[in-house]
Amino acid sequence: MVKVMKESVIKQVLALQSKSTAELKELWRSIFDTDAPPHSKTYLIPRLAYRLQELAYGPMAEKSAKQLDNLADQMEKGKKFTNHYMAAKPLAGTKLIREFQGDLHEVLVSENGFIYQGQSYKSLSAIARKITGTRWNGPAFFGLRSNKEA
């Protein structure tokens, strides 16, 4: 089984797009300890990306996983979601991870806000400002919405 370093997981996930199907299947064997299913790159890449992140950061909170499964089921049935719906605050227990100027920054979503470096914050924007030194839309900084929506 491959050991995934937290510092390099973002680079590994981004590099998946440039790999051949054969390379992706080889990576699959190394991190899942089983042969890859006979699917295309579009099937393999998101699953490999999830697994790499899971190995580096730990499994997703059960409540978050159930909500994502529910959303996926609804999307398979043709339901469309508005940006407003998708921009809702992530569930408590979710980790938001952002690389900025070579440093990884982890934020834990809590019931009452967010926790960054052991300190509680009411908004992601306050955390983004602490990290960058400039004003940022917090959800945009952490990839929860695009800058255009911010």
Tens of pLDDT along 122-141? 999 999 999 999 999 999 99
Domain extent at residue 14: 6-57
CA distances from 116 to 31, 105, 150 (A): 30, 8, 22
Overall average pLDDT of the 65-87 stretch: 68
Q: Where are the alpha helices (DSSP H) in 34-111?
A: 41-57, 62-76, 83-86
The reply to whether 62 falls in a domain is: no
Least confident of 2-11, 69-78, 95-104: 2-11
Say whether both 80 and 137 belong to one domain.
yes
Mean pLDDT rounded to a whole number for the chain: 84
Amino acid identity of residue 28, one-letter, is: W
- Asked if 115 and 121 count as a contact pair (C-beta separation under 8 A), the reply is yes
User: 32 with 86, same domain?
Assistant: no
Total tally of structural domains belonging to the chain: 2
pTM of the model: 0.48
CB 7 within 8 A of CB 52: no
Whether pLDDT at 72 is above 80: no
Distances (CA, A) of 69 to 65, 72, 75, 83, 108: 6, 5, 10, 19, 21
Same domain? For 84 and 125 the reply is: yes
